[in-house]
Structure 1
Amino acid sequence: MPTDPHPGGGGRVGDGLRLALTTFTVWPVRAGRVDRATAGVAMASAPAVGALLGAALAGVLLLVGAVAAPLVAAAVTLGAGALLTRGLHLDGLADTVDALGSYRRGAAALEIMKKPDVGPFGVAALVVVLLTQAAALAELAARSWPAALAGVVAATAAGRLGVTLACRRGVPAARPDGLGALVAGTVGPVAAGVGTAAVALVAVAAVPGRPWQGPVAVLAALAVAVLLLRHLVRRLGGITGDVLGATVEVVTTLVYLGLAATR
């Protein structure tokens, strides 16, 4: 049976961070031990991984924005984001919305989510989310580089913070196997609270002259995510990997909307 090489839990933390990187990005790191303890570390670390990913995407937005129109820069940034995450979150969004649109519950809804094709509800959700994100990113690209950087980092980290909240204690898994079963109920309240405070703090600099707007956007998006998760748990019986992906995209989109609002 594997043992932790670090008495203080350093091995578990390292394995959890590697699991977070391989779950939320395409970063090629060697997999460590995978169990519910390391899954808890990974899900608690999700906002930090999101911040790193957001910094990379902000770099793409600013570099392309220096030589092309803001909307072009936004589109390229979204493409880079899909590549760096294997498009898994977008796939999860489409599958989850297809299940909700079927008006089925429990096993019947989960069966729809397992199908490889994308239905009309899923396609519509992808179009709306990507168009909204592109428009918001174009608005951020037109701002000063510190504000654009803070905005993209905050929105990307907030999307992964939604996963942290979805994996908090008391939230069940919809299936006995899969990613949802591994991570459901593994995150305690302290990690969720610290992550929320950190992401809200980053968002302060995203809207010049309105330091309150960024944190409000983050908190409002997370509140919507909690309500959505409650509905999904009632409909599906718990969370799945697709639900986590959908949460990432919904929270990210709502934060972008809140940051881009100028009136």
Structure 2
Amino acid sequence: MKDSFDDPPPVPPGERASLPDGLRFAFGTLTVLPARITRWDRPAARTGMACAPVVGLAVGLLAAVPGVLLLLLGGGPLLAAAVTVAVPAALTRGLHLDGLADTADGLGSAKPADAALRIMKQSDIGPFGVIALLIVLLVQTAALADVYADSWVRGALAGVAAAVAARLAMTLASREGVPAARPEGLGAAVAGVVPSRTALAVTGLVTAAAALAALPLGGLPTALQYAVSVLAALAAAELLLRRCVRRFGGVTGDVFGAVCEVAATTALVLLALG
């Protein structure tokens, strides 16, 4: 997520937004998939960020398809993993990775919060950002390659689970009580919009769904591994989120992107260990 976004046509504010409005908001802000945003207000943001794991499901499935096809056509696990990691970057115009790099530069600078936020808003990437990008992309590809080496089914499911967990981390980062670091931008539009009970309910639903999806692959141990991977991804994302709130005074669109990538990386590493 980036802090700059073309405002859609204004709509009258309302207390609630419909599920279609929320899904359009989620897909329109978190991907480049065709989804015309019909509402740009807090209720739409609330529903949209609660639906963020649905976006992760779509992105994960679209990423898994070329990886599986490459394996079936004789490609190796590393090639399949690299393509599976590249597809989400393409589907988001690299905004989450850019957010990771900007957040790393902001955290790495020894500047006060205002100065760090200015660094994050600059178009260039500093050394901390480059290092963060290299490490995250290498770890994601290596972990996914290990899972693909086991079987294409496990590799595909791991990629989907990581994508869903990454967007679930965004849902939690949008919960009540998490302030925005700036008064403008996409980060401010979604900060604090999701009720805590909704965030917890979505977390439970996604964790259970991940466990059920993995159950046929290896019974209860595999199901437990996927559930733990989702929860560990959220824990890692939460640590980063709290650090950013303390450092910057709140969240920005860049922080949401960083939280997403850290969650995905954590989930893939734990799934590879199995």
Q: TM-score, normalised by structure 2?
A: 0.89
The equivalent residue for 2:256 is 244
**How much has 1:8 moved relative to structure 2?**
10
Of 68, 74, 86, the match for 1:79 = 86
Q: Is the partner of 2:241 in helix, strand or coil?
A: helix
Of 248, 256, 259, the match for 2:268 = 256
1:228 aligns with 2:240: yes
Of 192, 201, 204, the match for 2:208 = 201
The equivalent residue for 1:65 is 71
Most deviating of 165-174 and 69-78: 69-78
1:13 aligns with 2:13: no
1:24 aligns with 2:30: yes
CA contact (8 A) 1:154 1:200 kept: no
The equivalent residue for 2:125 is 118
**How much has 1:62 moved relative to structure 2?**
0.8
Of 103, 127, 133, the match for 2:134 = 127
Q: Deviations over 1:69-99 (max 9, x none)?
A: 1101111122222111110000000000001
Q: Is the partner of 1:93 in helix, strand or coil?
A: helix
**Distance in 1, Cα, partners of 2:11 & 2:109:** 44
**Distance in 1, Cα, partners of 2:70 & 2:26:** 28
The equivalent residue for 2:176 is 169
The equivalent residue for 1:39 is 45
**Distance in 1, Cα, partners of 2:204 & 2:94:** 28
CA contact (8 A) 1:151 1:203 kept: no
RMSD over aligned CA atoms reads 1.9
Gaps of 5+ in 2: 1-9
**How much has 1:40 moved relative to structure 2?**
0.8
**How much has 1:236 moved relative to structure 2?**
0.3
Gaps of 5+ in 1: none
The letter for the 1-side match of 2:273 is A
The equivalent residue for 1:106 is 113
The letter for the 2-side match of 1:137 is L
1:91 aligns with 2:94: no
1:52 aligns with 2:64: no
**Distance in 2, Cα, partners of 1:219 & 1:83:** 26
**Distance in 1, Cα, partners of 2:88 & 2:47:** 23
Moved over 6 A (4+): none
How many residues are matched?
Answer: 259
Q: TM-score, normalised by structure 1?
A: 0.92
Q: Is the partner of 1:228 in helix, strand or coil?
A: helix
**How much has 1:56 moved relative to structure 2?**
1.3
1:147 aligns with 2:154: yes
